Amino acid sequence: MRMFVHVICEERDGHWSAWFSGRPELASGGLWPSQAIQRLLDGFGGQYSSEEIVALDSRTRDGHLEFLVPEVFRLKIPTPSVN
């Protein structure tokens, strides 16, 4: 079964931020949505297929984009410790 990560990307004042759904504290930024997403994915050492990104058109609106990114090699997204 193919696994996907859900990525949200939003624009504010000409700058884009991308984060994993449910984990906004783990965000990356860029001048374009593609740059923000690539920086986010590169920051976690997992392997993702950027050629097969799926846009969720029904959730897209001005300044807000959502994507599903297929995982090639699954790596757990880190969770900050509360201890």
* Predicted pLDDT of residue 65: 95
24 contacts: CB under 8 Å, gap ≥ 6: 8
Q: ∠ CA 69-74-79 to the nearest 5 degrees?
A: 90
* pTM (2 d.p.): 0.74
Instruction: State yes or no: pLDDT of 11 exceeds 90.
Output: yes
pLDDT tens for 32-56 read 998 998 898 887 766 676 678 888 9
